[in-house]
A = this chain, B = another copy of it.
């Protein structure tokens, strides 16, 4: 009846103080596999377990700023580089017992990184490493859930946005772009059909002028493309089989 209603009637005793953190699901492609940046915990609880990188939101900082700061710290990338990366709020995790020590609300972000650098080991006893997605056991806290949510979200957004280019360097081949879809979705796509779809979607990619070709390894050299101005795909590029689960 007299439960506090916000934003009227701020009573200093009407709310409990919460700690607010950010957790990052940092994804990248290495050697045709999806990898996640994980840190090994040095302290209890969950000492020795792997966890998503993250940290406290500072008193005068937004969650997004905190996430970018942590991302730079954990990956060793410069602030300027990190400023250009795709970083997106995923969801906020608020279960009262998600941290056994105290009430912590965590704003989770998904970050996509092309060309992953080796992470610098954390200043503490913890190490940070790129781990192939799915090969880590159970993560600390509710990070299994966060990571699964991130993977699902990224997979879904590949269908109807141009997100895939965020996994690629500034210039890329259509083969590399197709690899993104195949790796995240775990399926094989038909090359000619994928090519047709990408090239006929206005604004998805734009051809790079100049030396029109580049050879990476085996096979015929491929043309290079840059990300276009479009952000959404209409019509979408749907996964095979239909169901997005």
Contacts and interface: CB of A to CB of B under 8 A. Distances in A.
Contacts of A92: 63, 89, 92, 107
Given A243-B234, A244-B232, A5 B60 contact: no
Contacts of A244: 160, 232, 234
Given A232-B243, A238-B235, A96 B62 contact: yes
B94 A63 contact: yes
Contacts of A91: 89
Contacts of A234: 238, 242-244
B232 A9 contact: no
A16 B58 contact: yes
Nearest to A107: B92
Nearest to A159: B160
Given A89-B92, A94-B63, A243-B232, A56 B4 contact: yes
Interface stretch (A121-129, A186-194, A219-227): A121-129
Interface in A199-245: 232, 234-236, 238, 242-244
Copies of this chain held together in the complex: 2
A59 interface: yes
Nearest to A245: B232
A155 to B, nearest CB: 12
Contacts of A124: 5, 8-9
Nearest to A126: B8
17 contacts: A4-B56, A5-B70, A6-B54, A8-B126, A15-B56, A16-B58, A18-B18, A57-B105, A59-B96, A62-B94, A63-B94, A63-B105, A89-B91, A89-B92, A234-B238, A234-B243, A235-B238
Interface of A: 1-10, 14-21, 41-43, 46, 51, 54-64, 69-70, 73, 89, 91-92, 94-96, 99, 101-105, 107, 122-124, 126, 140-141, 159-160, 232, 234-236, 238, 242-244
A-B interface, 4 closest residue pairs, ranked by CB to CB distance from nearest: A17-B17, A16-B59, A63-B94, A234-B242
